[in-house]
A and B are shown apart, each in its own frame.
Chain A
């Protein structure tokens, strides 16, 4: 058996074991609940038997490209309506999205979200037309604070003339200028510089604090490390399926980062969820409940970061790695 095959077998066994052991975390209050969500594309299917977003927290949606993050977020915001399943928002009895619900949701999406010929002022005007809870003064203040229209705040600047980062800032200004209860942000950190990513985390925190437990943020991200300090809850999506979820603190207790000598690598590989080998030894993520299996080995245990957990879970579930 080649090394890759061996690794695959080990990983497969561990995933099966792991999948049997995944339990849905208990969430006290939810802002959104989805049941039996299904959406099919050619060669891809999103299948989410159950999704609950904890109210008053920031939830990160993590997954590799093509995992179905944007599709899921589009369904939740009402941009896509061709899906099967039920979604209930806030404390409403009825399921499905409505204008009233959309008024309470702020969404920022990737790509051509605003029309390219719109100016900063037009975004303000159209936001005022589309949403009753839009505050013009707040929008201007955020635009100025984020330096969107340049130092002199040129409101005649067109969307197409803005950089990707400034376009994202403009989207954020437009949603934060509204009184909403839920923010759904699709890849908000990707086009932003490190400084702005830090500011984004602050903005999310401020939004949650202002809501006093009533406001919620749900965002997708590839920049897990940058967004970790603002993430309370994480959902990992692979191939349209939720493969792991939970409060970050719980996940950090559930998984352990194990480092050890090369001599123990093979033995440890049978226990570890995923493992990376180097000339100096090995490093991998292990389920805390399986630590007994490492008894007798010279290993050090550390608390993993959300990024390390996510990468390990994704690695264990990705089709890409299996193809490699």
Chain B
């Protein structure tokens, strides 16, 4: 199991360049967390979380151009080396799946930190030092999950759409749209009483779009064996 996971991670990492790793694994999360914390501390509790949730999808969509950009185009990525191996398509599938898992974990990690900061900021301003209120409650977790799932769903949807082209401006355009889409999606926060239902719906949508993204990319690459 561990060995298989290790192989999958390796499969994913071989598609990532040094700069992609530096930006996506280090700089972007640091900048997001930093921005979120700063907003929580200096503006208003909860604003950091909202801003990060809105900014995460465009960052993911734009950075994807350097990873699988254009994989769903007619002239798909030239993956001859992978095609010369019987394992090539499995490696690619693993990489596509791991990328989605990374996106989810990234959203979870960054937003959890911002939520923690929001909780701490609220506690500090309201009641002084102590355990942050609402952080471990069901509704608190539900709201965090809502931010994570919404951000992940929009990121994946935008990534999926932008992969039909390999030009950076397509990613920028889709990323820009994703920002508004996420902001619009945050309106659902008004239905906080039904947060669990909304979370389940977003989880289903997220899983659906993830499956579609992997399936379409694989189909496109497999079609290149047949000049289609």
User: Which chain A residue has the least Cβ–Cβ distance from B223?
Assistant: A82
B225 touches A80 (CB 8 A): yes
Residue of A whose beta carbon sits closest to that of B66: A117
- A34-72 interface (Cβ within 8 A of B): 41
Check: A266 CB closer than 8 A to any chain B CB. no
Residues of A within 8 A of B82 (CB): 130
User: Are A117 and B17 within 8 A (Cβ)?
Assistant: yes
**A125 and B10 in contact (CB under 8 A), knowing A79-B83, A79-B225, A80-B227?**
yes
Nearest-CB residue, chain B, relative to A125:
B14
Say yes or no for A273: interface residue by CB 8 A criterion.
Answer: no
Chain A residues, Cβ within 8 Å of B78: 111-113
The reply to whether the CB of B184 lies closer than 8 angstroms to some CB of chain A is no
Which residue from chain B places its CB closest to the CB of A126 in the assembled complex? B14
User: Interface 1/0s, chain A 110-152, versus B by CB < 8 A?
Assistant: 0111110111001001100111000000000000000000000
Q: If the complex has contacts A82-B225, A82-B226, A129-B14, are A77 and B7 also in contact, measured as CB distance less than 8 A? A: no
Interface flags for B211-228 (1: CB within 8 Å of A; 0: not) read 000000000000001111
- A81-B225 in contact given A111-B78, A125-B14, A129-B11 (Cβ < 8 Å): yes
**B7-18 interface bits toward A, Cβ cutoff 8 Å, 1 = contact, 0 = none:** 100110111111
Number of A-B contacts (CB under 8 A): 76
Chain A interface residue count, CB cutoff 8 Å, equals 31
B86 near A113 (CB under 8 angstroms)?
no
Whether B18 lies near A119 (C-beta < 8 A) is: yes
Residues 33 to 72 of chain B near chain A (Cβ within 8 Å)? 66
> With a CB–CB cut-off of 8 A, which chain A residues contact B81?
113-115, 126, 130
Given contact pairs A80-B225, A82-B226, A158 touches B87 in the complex (Cβ within 8 A): no
Judged by a CB distance under 8 angstroms, whether A192 is at the interface is: no
> What residues on A are CB-neighbors of B86 within 8 Å?
98-100, 102-103
Q: How far is the CA of A99 from the CA of B87 in the complex (A)?
A: 7
Binding site for B on A (CB under 8 A): 41, 77-82, 98-100, 102-103, 105, 107, 109, 111-115, 117-119, 122, 125-126, 129-131, 156, 158
Please list 18 pairs of residues, one from A and one from B, whose beta carbons are closer than 8 Å in the complex, sorted by A's number. A41-B227, A79-B83, A81-B226, A82-B225, A99-B85, A102-B86, A107-B84, A112-B78, A125-B13, A126-B14, A126-B91, A129-B10, A129-B87, A129-B91, A130-B85, A130-B88, A130-B91, A158-B17
Leading 3 A-B pairs by shortest Cβ distance: A99-B86, A117-B17, A130-B85
